[in-house]
Amino acid sequence: MKKLLLLAFALMLLVPAMAQHQDKVLGTWLTQYGDSKVTIKKDSKGKFYGEITWLKEPNKDGKPKVDDKNPDPKLQNRPIMGLRMLDGFVYKDSQWVDGTIYNPKEGKTYKCYMWFDDGNYNLLHVKGYIGFSFIGKEVEWTRSN
């Protein structure tokens, strides 16, 4: 009985610590080229997603940028601002995994995972890939808020 109470107490301490760490990704991030910001949030099911909330420049005509590289013609006129760029991430083993990242510059969606290194919660590593995770592109985003 003592062991069960001790285990229950340890779990009570551990669960809030895990929840606190998984939420460190929440907030606004300046992307690798400094031309856009993505705000990462958590949905009602506990999955993480990110929307483009700032763009450095409009298109050449001064109008808001649209998703003109999207392979679906129906989506090519949707605005980039507010676009869900990250979707479906879950927190597991100190990483946000099983998500996707949409690259509006290419009109392509990739599998993706994200993580922090060495407790630096102001630099987010984002890796998009096709197929195997060791083949892909890693970028670093800087916390903006």
Burial of 144 (0-12, 13-18, 19+ CB in 10 A): middle
**Residue 14 resides in a domain:** no
**Is residue 9, in this structure, part of any structural domain at all?**
no
List pLDDT tens digits, range 70-122. 999 999 999 999 999 999 999 999 999 999 999 999 999 999 999 999 899 99
Domain residues for the domain of 132 are: 19-143
> Residue 63 falls within a domain, yes or no?
yes
In this prediction, residues 17-33 reach a mean pLDDT of: 85
The domain tally of the chain equals: 1
Q: Is the Cα dihedral 84, 90, 92, 97 positive or negative?
A: negative
Q: What is the dihedral of CA 23, 27, 31, 35, to 10 degrees?
A: 170
In a domain, 65, yes or no: yes
4 found inside a domain: no
Tokens coding 109: 């969606």
The answer, yes or no, to whether residue 6 has pLDDT greater than 70, is no
Residue 13 lies in a domain: no
Residue 6 lies in a domain: no
- As a whole number of angstroms, the distance between CA 143 and CA 140 comes to 10
Which residues does 76 contact at the CB level (< 8 Å), separation at least 6? 66, 67, 68, 69, 70
The overall average pLDDT reported for the chain is: 88
Q: What percent of the chain has pLDDT over 70?
A: 86
* 138: confidence class by pLDDT, cuts 50, 70, 90: very high
- The domain spanning residue 112 has which CATH number? 2.40.128.520
Q: Which residue has the tokens 């949905």?
A: 43
| pLDDT, position 2 | 56
Res. 19 pLDDT band, cuts 50 70 90? low
- 104 in a domain, yes or no? yes
